[in-house]
Structure 1
Amino acid sequence: MSLRIVRQSKFRHVFGQPLKREQCYDNIRITKNSWDSNFCAVNPKFLAIITEIAGGGAFLVLPLQKTGRIDISYPQVAGHKGPVMDIAWCPHNDNVIASSSDDTLVRVWQIPEGGLVRPLVDPVVELAGHQKKVGLVQWHPSANNVLLSAGADCKIMIWNVGTGELLSEVMHPDIIFDCCWSWNGSRLATTCKDKKIRVYDPRSGEMLQEAMGHEGAKPQRVVYLRSGMILTTGFSRMSERQYSLRNEDDLNSPLCLEEMDVSNGVMVPFYDPDVNLLFLCAKGDSNIRYFEITEDAPFVHYINTYQSNTPQRGMCMMPKRGCDISRCEIAKCIRLHSNGFCEVLSFTVPRKSEQFQDDLYPLTTADVPAISAEEWAEGKDADPVLVSLKEGYVPSQKQELKVTKKANVLDKLSSKKAEQSPEPALPKPDKKIEELMEEIRNLKSTVNEHEQRIKELENKIEATCNAFSEHTQVLNNHGEDDHLADEV
């Protein structure tokens, strides 16, 4: 009986191929911020890259077809007063992007169809609630207009972007390194500076599970898998890079804990829920490892490594609906280089047949939400809407994002009472103010008249006094003349 040395897998021959230089993006001033962020985000329409700018924060938004050398004066999204820390495209609207900054604000932007023609400085909505810098933003996977933000103030805030209101708040015991929604958005997994992994109820803020994660002091990353398992990357006590896989109901007992190598870069996981592929890369590394995750031990199976000559400054993955299915492309990523070059890397599975490959492209996440933000806030959960790519990806018709501020409940009650009451309405505050202003003007006029009358009387008194003194002087002179005449 022969033993299989190589595990059989349809992804065993996956290989990465960089596109030609003219199909990539060049001459971009990539941010020099040391924050642990990907610095870029991509969707089937646009590529966004955080850039270096003096006196604030900005990021570049490029249509995917605008490849080659980018003009240094190309318009940017520049509204933050501090460096931009993180950006994330809305999964249900390819023209909407969220950004977080060192200025403690989270802003949501509407990108015009076709890209920017002038700098964009006015966001659709500004979300203010954090007291310190906001280092992470993430959209809900299935609920419309639900956005998560995590700040250095140890708070996770969940917003309804459509109304600009805060839906819930999760207090964390220490600095948050990373967080991730579950497949249907009913749970939230986090990693923390205190080296612990936690699972929260995002609506109530209640902590459901807690366990010690990786023993190293460097940042840990977390990914919630579609099956409910939680994968983390971090460091051992000896600074060896590790990954672990745990069940969400028993975080204390890892299903697997593997060491990879010794390096400084934090391993960033990118997970494909359609085919359970995992890509691991890190800043400063020049390679990308990819694995296949199964439900049977040893759970995480190594496939291959993409090797490059240049280290990456940041990286982001394209949603599956943005991949080229005619070339059997199962993943596409953007690698940022320190010299301003943005490389496009394509991962393909070699197949001779030109027909649609059902095993490579199962149903994938669509660009339409499953529930509304109000339904999610009321306790409803739903899996993301899935769509087939067999006939190609056709984007759904999207409307412009508009923010509707909710009216005050007291205002609604007072308006209802006014409509039901037959009594005449009270004078408006504006009319009362006008009456008071008119009375003040009349009083000022009266005071001015009295002041003028007083000045006139003072002048008359002064004239009378002067005349009296002159008359007295004349009489005195006459008296002296009479006295001299008598002496003579």
Structure 2
Amino acid sequence: MSRRVVRQSKFRHVFGQPVKADQMYEDIRVSKVTWDSSFCAVNPKFVAIIVESGGGGAFIVLPLAKTGRVDKNYPLVTGHTAPVLDIDWCPHNDNVIASASEDTTVMVWQVPDYVPVRNITEPVVTLEGHSKRVGIISWHPTARNVLLSAGCDNLVILWNVGTGETLLVLEDMHTDLIYNVGWNRNGSLLVTTCKDKKVRVIDPRKQQVLAKNFEEPIALQEMDTSNGVLLPFYDPDSSIVYLCGKGDSSIRYFEITDEAPYVHYLNTYSSKEPQRGMGFMPKRGLDVSKCEIARFFKLHERKCEPIVMTVPRKSDLFQDDLYPDTPGPEPALEADEWLSGKDAEPILISLRDGYVPVKNRELKVVKKNILDNKPPPGRRHSHSTCNPDFSQPALEEVLEEIRALKETVQAQEKRISDLENKLCQFTNGTD
């Protein structure tokens, strides 16, 4: 007689459960825009949700501890002139979030640790380069201030948020709408899915497609996609991929291994209400004392419901096998280093004592002065109406005149102010 051998895995008994009713976020007007993004982004400090907004686009940012009913006048993050389509927290600064919109722009915001009194309307920087709506944004996993955006113009643009400049523009690589973009662990490569039914592995710095048209998958899993698009979330620390269907009410999760059949079905979490979006907590934001290996923020029409995935363990001690060192908030590279060709693995931290978020760190944007880029000597070819023989000495003369005019204006302003003060004294003395 043959004996059936059960596959050994510490994640075989992972189960999901919702939090208590008082730990949910209620009365949130989740966006009804027909776009296939997750509509939600979370980190160890905040949960951000794209919401309905009249006259433009907006999203709400709530501290994780602020659960329960949300006041209808709670401040929003506004500034886009059209609906927001995607949001993403910076992995190296828990107070910085980027948003992409139908208005063709990407905005980066600084969110304070305290609850603001009024709407946040001024972004730290606005990134303009797309000609059509922008539906995908993703931060680089290891390089500081490097942000990727993909739009309906079939372009992928990489930005240096610290200077507000474009680093790279990947064009003529996609023939149709880009569905999704993801980085590898050290950010040296990225992968895209496209409406033309092709998956592309791209080296962004060489601006080359390294692989395309995968002929045979190593594993095939039939899924019911009748309810809508599937949102995949992959946890490299546990090698578990979670599939959440928009319009569906379940979360299916699978373990990925190095041996055939490679993909192993674990379980399905189901609830009564269909989900309109989903947020996935980074590993450093989990409660390690409860053997929590994943936490989702499931969006319904009027609320956000956290779902906790747990591995049952009898011991209260720290479980080393469940929590290997995980990427922390410190970047391994600067933007210029990465652009020059340097790669680095994420800087890892231990979760043995839990993770305490760092205090608010301000994002500083230093835009380069275009006047610092001196034109090359000799005649310049220009399509403008300016004199093509406009030389460097002439430019210096114009700048000197500008400086003199500024000094004159400042002197006149001081003189006017002095006269106003004397007039005020004279008036007060005669009344």
Question: Which range, TM-score by smaller chain?
Answer: 0.7 to 0.9
The equivalent residue for 1:368 is: 330
Q: CA deviation at 1:115?
A: 3.4
Letter of the 1:331 partner, please give it: A
Letter of the 1:184 partner, please give it: N
Q: CA deviation at 1:207?
A: 1.4
Q: CA deviation at 1:412?
A: 6.2
Q: Contact (CA 8 Å) 2:56, 2:80: kept in 1 or not?
A: yes
The equivalent residue for 2:366 is: 404
- Equivalent-residue separation in structure 2 for 1:181 and 1:426 (angstroms): 49
Residue 401 of structure 2 corresponds to residue 429 of structure 1: yes
Q: Secondary structure at the match of 1:153?
A: coil
Residue 34 of structure 2 corresponds to residue 34 of structure 1: yes
Return the match for 2:175 from 173, 176, 188.
Answer: 173
Q: CA deviation at 1:426?
A: 5.4
Residue 227 of structure 2 corresponds to residue 264 of structure 1: yes
Q: Secondary structure at the match of 2:223?
A: strand
Query: Which structure's residues are more often helix, by fraction?
Result: 1
Question: CA offsets, 1:27-56, max 9 Å, x none?
Answer: 001111011111110000000000001110
Q: CA deviation at 1:385?
A: 1.1
Q: CA deviation at 1:165?
A: 0.6
The equivalent residue for 1:60 is: 60
Q: CA deviation at 1:205?
A: 1.9
Q: 1:66 to 1:3 in 2, by over 3 A?
A: same
Residue 123 of structure 2 corresponds to residue 123 of structure 1: yes
The equivalent residue for 2:417 is: none
Q: 1:426 to 1:31 in 2, by over 3 A?
A: closer
- Equivalent-residue separation in structure 2 for 1:23 and 1:431 (angstroms): 59
Matched ranges for 1:29-108 at <5 A: 29-108=29-108
The equivalent residue for 1:200 is: 202
Q: So what's the TM-score if we normalise by structure 1?
A: 0.76
Q: Contact (CA 8 Å) 2:76, 2:120: kept in 1 or not?
A: yes
Q: CA deviation at 1:3?
A: 2.7
Matched ranges for 1:43-442 at <5 A: 43-171=43-171, 172-211=174-213, 251-261=214-224, 263-338=226-301, 340-396=302-358, 399-408=361-370, 410-411=372-373, 428-430=400-402
- Equivalent-residue separation in structure 2 for 1:346 and 1:431 (angstroms): 62
Identity %: 59
- Equivalent-residue separation in structure 2 for 1:267 and 1:341 (angstroms): 20
Letter of the 2:266 partner, please give it: I
The unaligned stretches of length 5 or more in structure 2 are 377-395, 407-431
Q: CA deviation at 1:384?
A: 1.1
- Equivalent-residue separation in structure 2 for 1:277 and 1:25 (angstroms): 27
Q: Secondary structure at the match of 2:242?
A: strand
With CA pairs under 8 Å and 6+ residues apart, which has the higher RCO, 1 or 2?
2
Q: Contact (CA 8 Å) 2:227, 2:248: kept in 1 or not?
A: no
Aligned pair count reads 384
Moved more, 1-10 or 369-378: 1-10
Moved more, 165-174 or 139-148: 165-174
Letter of the 2:337 partner, please give it: E
- Equivalent-residue separation in structure 2 for 1:3 and 1:30 (angstroms): 51
Letter of the 2:250 partner, please give it: N
Q: Contact (CA 8 Å) 1:167, 1:203: kept in 2 or not?
A: no
Q: CA deviation at 1:397?
A: 5.5
Q: 1:353 to 1:73 in 2, by over 3 A?
A: same
Q: Which one has the largest radius of gyration?
A: 1
The equivalent residue for 2:383 is: none
Q: Contact (CA 8 Å) 1:292, 1:301: kept in 2 or not?
A: yes
Q: Secondary structure at the match of 2:284?
A: helix
- Equivalent-residue separation in structure 1 for 2:354 and 2:129 (angstroms): 41
Question: CA offsets, 1:326-364, max 9 Å, x none?
Answer: 0111111100012x0110111111111110000110111
Q: Secondary structure at the match of 1:393?
A: coil
Question: CA offsets, 1:383-410, max 9 Å, x none?
Answer: 1111110121133456300100123475
Q: So what's the TM-score if we normalise by structure 2?
A: 0.86
Q: 1:305 to 1:429 in 2, by over 3 A?
A: same
Q: Contact (CA 8 Å) 1:168, 1:204: kept in 2 or not?
A: no
